């Protein structure tokens, strides 16, 4: 492709009433990220230096999301819903000095691939005024049809309600995703009328207008999966299945072992190194990185965590944001870690909560141990030194420091710093009263009322 500038206009004004939600449709998440966020990332990946988003009135959550992720993006309001052509013209100001290539995308179509958009840009570079992304539909009912001549040249796009009986037999369908040559786009958009069954300005009419002007129009074929538009919860679930399948296939191809791939849920930004082994029923939330040779055992839930090489996590472990696990460390069954760093070889094998803490290399956290990090108003940190041993059922009341090599006796409640290599025991003194239990039983039995 020649060196051409590119901008994107993303249409996100749909109310999404079929989602049955108080939230705008495009902020619903797919693989841990809003649908619109996927589209914003896509346009960046294909080289768009400008991004404009068209929203409806009272859609502040969408504008806020866009500004967080693309601060220099422009937001335009579509006050009336008169079709896709009308929606694009809501961003007319962005088209007064357009880039060479103008991509028209949809906030509810998040599975489109960069490869397809690059092919569309190639079509524009080869002197097309318009490029259209199409797909072969198993059931074309309801879709606009791509009308081509005997040589495969795109002649027009016919909406389903306006198509003839023979045109409805065509299975090459319109995805809605289009690309325009910047020099032509405003002229084409201003030529679109609304003489159709719905009385709307169809963006797709630009194809026939361009052909009648003698301009070249390119039809690019993508897959049916990638152009799935999401208008309902059922379609969101369908898109999630597709997205997850793609993520798993990519991970497997990169050297990750998944014992039962269909039971592993990945976020769109999950980073898995080679020779990672993932057992069944594991959930990865956003911002997780896993180092080489790590093992994630079954039924673990992980988000916002960095897991080092050769670490073992789980089964039934929960890693929350801010967790960092050093090389060869171990987080065992029913252990929860939050905003805490484990050094190399450190371990908490079972039944523990470690929050807001630093755990030194080779330290051992016994079963039932908790860091008491919250006093009802503020969070406080616990520091556990290298090689320290914390006995079972210990409570470390932060802020507190356990020195290198220190030993905490089981059942202790530690409220003061412990020196390196010291033994700290903080529990009530054990008292035994000989015969007390026997005397208590005899007394209780003698006083027990007899059944009548």
For 321, 360, 448, the CA distances from 415, given in Å and listed in that order, are: 26, 19, 45
Tokens of 126: 């080869």
Residues carrying an active site annotation: 350
Residue 227 near residue 146 (C-beta atoms within 8 A)? no
Residue 79 near residue 58 (C-beta atoms within 8 A)? no
Q: How many CB atoms within 10 Å of residue 361?
A: 18
Mutual angle of helices 35-45 and 114-125, in 10-degree steps: 40
> Which residues share a beta bridge with 132?
178, 219
Nearby residues of 379 by Cβ (< 8 Å), 6 or more positions away: 355, 356, 373, 398
> Which residues share a beta bridge with 135?
173, 222
Residue 342 near residue 324 (C-beta atoms within 8 A)? yes
Which helix (H) or strand (E) covers residue 245, if one does?
helix 233-253
Q: To which residue do tokens 């039934």 refer?
A: 316
Start-to-end C-alpha separation, the chain:
98
CA distance 318 to 379: 19
CA distance 99 to 89: 16
Nearby residues of 197 by Cβ (< 8 Å), 6 or more positions away: 159, 161, 162
- CA neighbours within 13 Å on the CB side: how many for 188? 30
- DSSP E strand stretches across 252-328: 257-258, 271-272, 277-278, 283-284, 289-290, 295-296, 301-302, 305-307, 312-313, 318-319, 323-325
For 8, 29, 70, 145, the CA distances from 41, given in Å and listed in that order, are: 11, 14, 9, 29
Exposed, middle or buried by CB within 10 Å (0-12, 13-18, 19+), for 410? middle
> Which residues share a beta bridge with 181?
101
């Amino acid at each position: 492709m020649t060196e051409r500038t590119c901008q994107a206009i993303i249409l996100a004004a749909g109310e999404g009433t079929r989602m049955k939600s108080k939230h705008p449709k495009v902020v619903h998440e797919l693989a841990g990220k809003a649908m619109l966020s996927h589209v914003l990332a896509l346009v960046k990946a294909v080289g768009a230096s400008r991004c404009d988003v068209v929203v409806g009135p009272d859609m502040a959550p969408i504008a806020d999301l866009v500004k967080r992720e693309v601060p220099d993006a422009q937001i335009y309001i579509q006050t009336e819903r008169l079709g896709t052509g009308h929606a694009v013209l809501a961003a007319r100001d962005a088209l007064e000095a357009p880039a060479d290539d103008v991509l028209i995308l949809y906030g509810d179509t998040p599975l489109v691939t960069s490869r397809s958009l690059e092919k569309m840009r190639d079509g524009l570079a080869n002197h097309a005024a318009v490029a259209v992304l199409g797909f072969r539909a198993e059931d074309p009912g309801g879709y606009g049809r791509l009308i081509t001549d005997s040589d495969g040249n795109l002649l027009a796009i016919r909406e389903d309600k306006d198509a003839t009986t023979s045109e409805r037999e065509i299975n090459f369908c319109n995805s809605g995703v289009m690309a325009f040559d910047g020099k032509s786009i405003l002229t084409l958009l201003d030529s679109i009328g609304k003489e159709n069954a719905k009385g709307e300005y169809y963006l797709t009419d630009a194809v026939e207008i361009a052909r009648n002007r003698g301009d070249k129009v390119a039809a690019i074929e993508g897959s049916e999966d990638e152009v799935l538009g999401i208008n309902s919860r059922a379609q969101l679930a369908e898109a999630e299945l597709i997205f997850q399948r793609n993520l798993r296939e990519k991970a497997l191809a990169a050297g990750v072992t998944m014992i039962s791939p269909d039971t592993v849920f990945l976020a769109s930004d999950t980073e898995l190194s080679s020779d990672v082994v993932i057992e069944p029923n594991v959930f990865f939330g956003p911002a997780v990185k896993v180092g080489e040779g790590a093992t994630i055992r079954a039924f673990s839930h992980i988000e916002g965590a960095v897991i080092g090489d050769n670490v073992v996590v789980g089964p039934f472990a929960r890693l929350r944001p801010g967790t960092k696990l050093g090389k060869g460390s171990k987080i065992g069954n029913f252990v929860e870690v939050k905003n805490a760093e484990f050094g190399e070889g450190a371990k908490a094998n079972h039944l523990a909560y470690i929050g807001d803490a630093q755990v030194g290399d080779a330290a051992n956290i016994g079963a039932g141990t908790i860091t008491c990090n919250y006093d009802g108003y503020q969070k406080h940190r616990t520091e556990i030194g290298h090689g320290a041993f914390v006995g079972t059922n210990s409570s470390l009341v932060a802020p507190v420091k356990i020195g290198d090599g220190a030993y905490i006796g089981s059942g202790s409640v530690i409220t003061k710093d412990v020196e390196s290599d010291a033994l700290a025991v903080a529990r009530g003194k054990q008292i035994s009263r000989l015969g007390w239990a026997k005397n208590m039983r005899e007394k209780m039995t003698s006083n027990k009322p007899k059944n009548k």
